[in-house]
């Protein structure tokens, strides 16, 4: 399955640079030799098909090599979000019963603390020179190579823990077959080929980063990494490496397009892929105005569907002409996904009626690790219940209006927080915002806005409400307001942690 496609890539692709970081590079020949060797080393350490191997590292060639070695050996990858606390990581390590933990030198202290918190004694592997580990990656890579493990369609290839925006992490079981299907989808939808030069930005521990990495590897593209991400160095690296493809989450786009003369760094860029979190209309228009010649592709998906299921292609990123009018949507179903908008009982709704987005197809998860009840609740008759509220138009384009759990019910009326946020983002002086529902004695819930402003700026609730009333109904406008200068709490892929905000602003904690 997935490992066989890796073997095919190593067999047919050639060239001096498959992977690069700074001035250091890995050729296709070396890439194709080191992965099977590391896999053999993992087997010699006692890692067998089905064994879970956790990885805690920043983006690097070694990180990707370890991911592929795990697949080659028939083991199960457990990517660890490096933004989580050691307490949270210890829960994942224990729940997955990982037999090995690979990490880089940046996370030496974290790994040391983590191992003190768990009862497990996983074999530790250092990915670079000063990393924590019983063994070094270079030691494993010196082993004789082994053949790619031949799995079945149902064998689990990765265990992605998610749920950071809603509560306790859940282990999402992704089969090798689902990974393969999504990789082929991404190659087609992003037009990736051997001439593509991809500069990584989203973390490899997330499918937003790993999915494009897989597509590049299968298609023979060149992949480049940054030791540390920040918008200034990323822009410089785009120009230095002559990247043609970049993939960003909206928070990264916002930071990058706040830089001066940003379009001058995009001379070689053909395509910007964005997704993993909602994007405001204001930010999208800024990108279109500053880089009008760059193709934009939006992807919508979830960990539970192994990556993208909706695609908004470049020809729909227009504000005029016969193909205009879809810019606010997340796109249409990709080649292997069936999508419907349904009511609470799963019955499909008419076009234009909001309901839950359901997905069915070969890329959906196998289930939640050791959580059968939750699996049965989320996967019904093959349909994945995403928890997102969407509207499908007559052409099949889906607009995502909110998370089901983020919808606010005030005075019996449903308010989609994203709709309010899109209006609020255009208010003068607003740097960023989040809208949540907080308990209210009269209305049940009231619309509460958390707004990021520059220190010294004044913002009055009535002025904000008057501004919003020009675009949305009165009951949707913020009924309370908190102005902050600190960043909003966000997940590893830039999603606002509204669960944290709701806890903070519960009645009694409002400023």
Rounded-to-integer distance, Cα 75 and Cα 368, Å: 18
Residue 418 lies in a domain: yes
The mean predicted confidence, pLDDT, of the chain is 91
What confidence tens digit (pLDDT) does each residue in 81-95 have? 888 888 889 999 999
Domain count, the chain: 1
Is residue 463 a part of any domain in this protein? yes
CA gap 80, 236 in Å, rounded: 28
| 289 domain residue, yes or no | no
Q: Are 398 and 205 spatial neighbours (Cβ–Cβ below 8 Å)?
A: no
- DSSP-derived letter for residue 1 is -
Task: Output the pLDDT for position 164.
Answer: 45
Instruction: Give the pLDDT mean for 156-175.
Output: 82
CB neighbour list of residue 58: distance below 8 Å, 6 or more residues apart: 82, 104, 106, 107, 203, 227, 228
Structure tokens at 10: 């190593």
Q: Domain holding 496: CATH number? A: 3.30.300.30
Q: Supply the range of the domain harboring residue 412.
A: 407-504
Q: Is residue 285 part of a domain?
A: no
Task: Pick 260 or 332 by higher pLDDT.
Answer: 332
pLDDT tier, 511 (very low <50, low <70, confident <90, very high otherwise) = very low
Mean pLDDT, residues 409-426 taken together: 85
CA distance 314 to 272: 10
Query: In this structure, is residue 47 part of a structural domain?
Result: no
321's CB contacts (< 8 A; 6+ apart) are none
Supply the pLDDT for residue 294.
Answer: 94
pLDDT tens per residue, range 337-396: 999 999 999 999 999 999 999 999 999 999 999 999 999 999 999 999 998 889 999 999
> Would 472 be classed as within a structural domain?
yes
Q: Hey, what are 473's tokens? A: 């109904």
Reading the block at residue 365, the tokens are 């998860």
- Burial-class residue 461 by CB neighbours within 10 Å (0-12, 13-18, 19+): middle
Give the confidence band of 490 by pLDDT, cuts at 50, 70, 90: confident
* Domain-located, residue 160: no
Residue 441 within any structural domain of the chain: yes
């Amino acid at each position: 399955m997935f490992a066989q496609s890796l073997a095919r890539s190593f067999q047919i692709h050639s060239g001096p640079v498959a992977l690069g970081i700074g001035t250091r590079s890995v050729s296709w020949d070396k890439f194709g030799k080191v992965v099977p060797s590391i896999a053999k080393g993992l087997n010699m350490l006692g890692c067998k098909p089905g064994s879970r191997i956790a990885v805690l590292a920043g983006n690097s060639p070694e990180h990707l090599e370890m991911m592929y070695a795990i697949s080659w050996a028939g083991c199960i990858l457990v990517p660890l979000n490096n933004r989580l606390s050691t307490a949270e990581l210890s829960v994942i390590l224990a729940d997955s019963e990982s037999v090995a933990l690979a990490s880089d030198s940046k996370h030496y202290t974290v790994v040391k603390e983590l191992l003190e918190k768990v009862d497990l004694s996983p074999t530790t592997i250092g990915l670079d020179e000063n990393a924590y580990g019983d063994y070094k990656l270079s030691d494993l890579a010196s082993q004789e190579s082994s053949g790619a493990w031949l799995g079945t369609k149902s064998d689990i290839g990765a265990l992605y823990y998610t749920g950071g925006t809603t509560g306790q992490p859940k282990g999402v079981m992704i089969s090798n077959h689902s990974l393969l299907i999504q990789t082929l989808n991404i190659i087609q939808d992003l037009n990736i080929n051997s001439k593509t030069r991809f500069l990584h930005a989203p973390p490899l521990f997330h499918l937003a980063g790993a999915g494009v990495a897989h597509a590049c590897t299968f298609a023979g593209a060149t992949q480049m990494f940054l030791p540390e991400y920040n918008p200034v160095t990323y822009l410089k690296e785009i120009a230095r490496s002559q990247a043609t493809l970049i993939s960003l989450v909206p928070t990264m786009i916002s930071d990058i397009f706040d830089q001066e003369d940003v379009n001058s760094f995009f001379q070689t860029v053909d395509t910007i892929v964005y997704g993993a979190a909602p994007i405001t209309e204001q930010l999208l228009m800024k990108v279109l105005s500053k880089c009008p010649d760059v193709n934009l592709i939006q992807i919508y998906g979830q960990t539970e569907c192994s990556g993208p299921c909706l695609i908004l292609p470049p020809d729909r990123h227009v504000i005029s002409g016969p193909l205009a009018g879809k810019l606010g949507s997340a796109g249409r179903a990709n080649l292997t996904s069936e999508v419907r908008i349904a009511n609470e009982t799963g019955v499909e709704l008419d076009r234009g009626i909001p309901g839950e987005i359901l997905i069915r197809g070969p890329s959906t998860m196998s289930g939640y690790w050791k959580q059968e009840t939750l699996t049965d609740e989320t996967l019904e008759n093959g349909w994945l219940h995403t928890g997102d509220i969407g509207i499908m138009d007559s052409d099949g384009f889906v607009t995502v209006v909110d998370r089901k759990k983020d919808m606010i019910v005030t005075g019996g009326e449903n308010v989609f927080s994203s709709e309010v946020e899109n209006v609020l983002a255009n208010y003068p002086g607003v740097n960023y915002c989040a809208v949540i529902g907080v308990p209210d004695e009269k209305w049940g819930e009231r619309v509460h806005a958390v707004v990021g402003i520059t220190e010294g700026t004044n913002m009055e609730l009535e002025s904000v409400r008057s501004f919003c009333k020009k675009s949305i109904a009165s009951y949707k406008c913020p009924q309370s307001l908190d102005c902050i200068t600190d960043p909003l709490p966000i997940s590893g892929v830039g999603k606002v942690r509204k669960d944290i905000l709701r806890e903070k602003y519960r009645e009694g904690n409002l400023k």
